Amino acid sequence: ADIYERTARELAQQGLGCECLGGGRLSHRPEERKIHVYGYSVGFGRADHSVTTEKLKAEYPDYEITWADEGY
């Protein structure tokens, strides 16, 4: 929520708006080149982790990137 609120304020100063579509967590293991997306946000619910995963794969093509709806 802290990151979202800060980002929303910064965007509002530029005349833009935003909406949080959900949340989750990341497990990043750089030594293994792995990222796992999982869980949800109590305040915002669960994001569509498949979308997050695809965006991460585009940015980190040499990583193994996985996701699951389990976990908090």
pLDDT in tens, 16-72: 999 999 999 999 999 999 999 999 999 999 999 999 999 999 999 999 999 998 877
Q: Tell me the backbone φ, ψ of residue 23, rounded to 5 degrees.
A: -140, -175
Q: What is the pLDDT of residue 72?
A: 74
Q: What is the pLDDT of residue 26?
A: 95
Question: What band does 2 get if pLDDT is binned at 50, 70 and 90?
Answer: confident
**How do 64-67 and 34-38 pair as beta strands?**
parallel
Select from 3, 9, 6 the least CA-distant residue to 24: 3
Cα–Cα distance, 64 to 7 (Å, whole number): 28
Domains of the chain are 22-68 (3.50.20.20)
Q: What is the pLDDT of residue 1?
A: 84
Q: Tell me the backbone φ, ψ of residue 49, rounded to 5 degrees.
A: -65, -25
DSSP symbol at 69: S
